[in-house]
Chains A and B, each alone.
Chain A
Amino acid sequence: MDYLENIRAQIRKGILEFAILVVIEEKEIYASDILKKLRETELIVVEGTLYPLLSRLKRHELVTYAWKESKSGPPRKYYKLTAKGREALESLKDSWKSLYTSINSLRKNNEKGN
């Protein structure tokens, strides 16, 4: 893989869980709809990679799910944030902000320097 593309992939992977938490924050949602939203942003392309992430979030008690019947197909898991998940999300949002600020301040420094 192209080195630059590799770096991009690393960044995407780093924020995937954060992105999933953001998607779930709004309302209870099931895997396929989470996937749809993530696909719109091109953060995730294949469905299979979503399930390990959801299981991991569940194991760390950041999300929980409830079963709901579906008209087409087997019952679905509807995910929502736990209290712990909300806390984690808030703290991740802070981290995100600080990352953003860090890069921006570095860039501003450059502009001043030039």
Chain B
Amino acid sequence: MKKVINITIGGMVFTVEEDAYKKLSDYLDAIKAHFTKDKDGDEIIEDIEASIAEKFSKRKNKNAAVTGKDVAAVMEQMGSLKDFKKLSEEEDDDAETDDSSEEGGKKLYRDPDDNIIAGVASGLAAYFGIDALLIRVLFVISIFFGGFGIMLYLLLWLVIPLAESRSQKLEMKGERITLHEIEKSVKKEIHRLKKKDLSALKKFGSELGELILVLLKALQKIIGAAFMLTGIAGVFILSFALTWQLSGGDIPDTNLTLNDFIVVTETMYWVFVLSVYVLMVVPLILAFLLGLGMMKNVSVIRGGEFVLLLVLWFGALGLTGSVVFENLPLIETRFEEIDEHYEFEQDEYFYIDEVRDFEEPKAPAMPF
């Protein structure tokens, strides 16, 4: 006795035995995974499915359920995954990429073999060639900054695809992050989770998954717009502040300029101002690009540019950090001055000290 499953393939309905179904879907999944990067991938899979449907309907006993034997016969004619791989080996040169981003960088994947949650940290570690432990520690630390780390982790989980095949694991090339891929990876992830879950959770999981997908699509535009606006406004404000600084304007509410906080040479001062600017503007640019990508449903962040921005940012961080560190005592003094100045102004306006009553602080009650 065998359980059967109804499937549609190539637009036709077939009844398939359970084990045959498993075999067929594994086969098709493998082929799909192989062709995900191919421009014609969808069409090739459609063709293959149509041909499988034709073969099923040409069986002698075409009204009987499709058996494991039938599937094996079809697979033999169609060719194994190895055959597909053999063919595409030399087509990689022909792969006519329409983007120039694949410039020898690495490909960012989540690592399923070395994961604590979803393999984000180990994937990032492989990408940047550093130890996963370091990334994990950074994630944990960043959680204390208003849960920032958790949000970032979830976002990366969505954005970074899982390295499934062995070739993907070996692949170390740069890839653009497109929303189509995000959606695909979300679907795949849900599929993966569904497979993992207990059967009782399965239905709930799939419904939840569908719901999440719908919500994600709706949220995508809203979040995209928010990111864009934040980015644009931030860049605008910062650039205004930079111009203000360049023209020698005071910091609002004080008669101090940035120059009063640090003691450096003239050139060093401008380098410092610029690096502060870069430090703040890079995340805003990234937010803007991310938002734009979400709005337009295309990717605008390329691997190379991303790395460049990252390098710029870390450079700026180093510069700013060293200058601030060297001038720490002076900066503290200046801030104290500003505080005093501010209090003084308040006193002036409200004559607080004339009505101020000094009460002796009450001694805390002794516990015995």
- Residues of A participating in the B interface, judged by any CB pair closer than 8 Å: 9-10, 13, 31-32, 45-49, 51-52, 54-56, 58-59, 70, 72-77
The complex places the Cα of A95 from the Cα of B95 at a distance, in Å, of 23
Instruction: Tell yes or no: B47 within 8 A of A by CB.
Output: yes
- What sequence of 0s and 1s flags, for each residue 71-99 of chain B, a beta carbon within 8 Å of any chain A beta carbon? 00000011110011011101100100000
The complex places the Cα of A4 from the Cα of B283 at a distance, in Å, of 56
Give the residue name and chain of the B residue nearest to A46 (CB): B79
Q: Is the CB of A72 within 8 A of B57?
A: yes
Instruction: Tell yes or no: B217 within 8 A of A by CB.
Output: no
Give the residue name and chain of the A residue nearest to B84 (CB): A48
Instruction: Tell yes or no: B103 within 8 A of A by CB.
Output: no
Q: Is the CB of A31 within 8 A of B47?
A: yes
Q: Considering only CB atoms and an 8 Å cut-off, how many residues of chain B contact the other chain?
A: 32
Give the residue name and chain of the A residue nearest to B40 (CB): A55
Residues of A within 8 A of B79 (CB): 45-49
Residue among A47, A56, A59, A77 with most chain B CB within 10 A: A47
The complex places the Cα of A75 from the Cα of B73 at a distance, in Å, of 22
Q: Is the CB of B54 within 8 A of A72?
A: yes
Please pick, from B10, B54, B83, B91, the residue contacting A32 in the complex, using a CB distance under 8 A: B54
The complex places the Cα of A76 from the Cα of B10 at a distance, in Å, of 10
Q: Is the CB of A74 within 8 A of B53?
A: yes
Q: Is the CB of A49 within 8 A of B44?
A: no
Instruction: Tell yes or no: B11 within 8 A of A by CB.
Output: yes
The minimal Cβ–Cβ distance linking A38 to chain B, given in whole angstroms, is 13
Give the residue name and chain of the B residue nearest to A52 (CB): B44
Q: Is the CB of A13 within 8 A of B57?
A: no
Q: Is the CB of B38 within 8 A of A52?
A: yes
Q: Is the CB of A52 within 8 A of B53?
A: no
The complex places the Cα of A13 from the Cα of B83 at a distance, in Å, of 12
Q: Give chain B's interface secondary structure class.
A: helix
Q: Is the CB of B44 within 8 A of A51?
A: yes
The complex places the Cα of A57 from the Cα of B53 at a distance, in Å, of 24
Residues of A within 8 A of B90 (CB): 10, 13
The minimal Cβ–Cβ distance linking B281 to chain A, given in whole angstroms, is 41
Within 8 A of A (CB), among B30-65: 31, 35, 38-40, 43-44, 47-48, 50-51, 53-58
The complex places the Cα of A109 from the Cα of B90 at a distance, in Å, of 33
Q: Is the CB of B40 within 8 A of A13?
A: no
Give the residue name and chain of the B residue nearest to A73 (CB): B54
- What sequence of 0s and 1s flags, for each residue 187-216 of chain B, a beta carbon within 8 Å of any chain A beta carbon? 000000000000000000000000000000
Residues of B within 8 A of A48 (CB): 31, 48, 78-79, 83-84
The complex places the Cα of A31 from the Cα of B50 at a distance, in Å, of 11
Also in contact, A46 and B54, with CB within 8 A (given A52-B44, A55-B40, A74-B11): no
Q: Is the CB of B10 within 8 A of A46?
A: no
Residues of B within 8 A of A73 (CB): 10, 12, 50, 53-58
The complex places the Cα of A52 from the Cα of B40 at a distance, in Å, of 7
Q: Is the CB of B51 within 8 A of A47?
A: yes
Q: Is the CB of A74 within 8 A of B50?
A: yes
Please pick, from B35, B44, B54, B84, the residue contacting A74 in the complex, using a CB distance under 8 A: B54
Residues of A within 8 A of B43 (CB): 51, 55, 58
Residues of A within 8 A of B58 (CB): 72-73
Q: What are 23 A-B pairs at a CB distance below 8 A? A: A10-B90, A32-B54, A46-B80, A46-B83, A47-B78, A48-B31, A49-B87, A51-B43, A51-B44, A52-B84, A56-B94, A58-B43, A59-B39, A72-B58, A73-B10, A73-B54, A73-B55, A73-B57, A73-B58, A74-B10, A74-B53, A77-B47, A77-B50
The complex places the Cα of A31 from the Cα of B55 at a distance, in Å, of 13
The minimal Cβ–Cβ distance linking B252 to chain A, given in whole angstroms, is 59
Q: Is the CB of A51 within 8 A of B48?
A: yes
Residues of A within 8 A of B94 (CB): 56
Give the residue name and chain of the B residue nearest to A54 (CB): B47
The complex places the Cα of A70 from the Cα of B57 at a distance, in Å, of 11
The minimal Cβ–Cβ distance linking B272 to chain A, given in whole angstroms, is 53
The complex places the Cα of A10 from the Cα of B86 at a distance, in Å, of 11
Give the residue name and chain of the A residue nearest to B89 (CB): A13
Residues of A within 8 A of B47 (CB): 31, 51, 54-55, 77
Residues of B within 8 A of A59 (CB): 39-40
The complex places the Cα of A56 from the Cα of B41 at a distance, in Å, of 10
Please pick, from A52, A58, A72, A77, the residue contacting B87 in the complex, using a CB distance under 8 A: A52
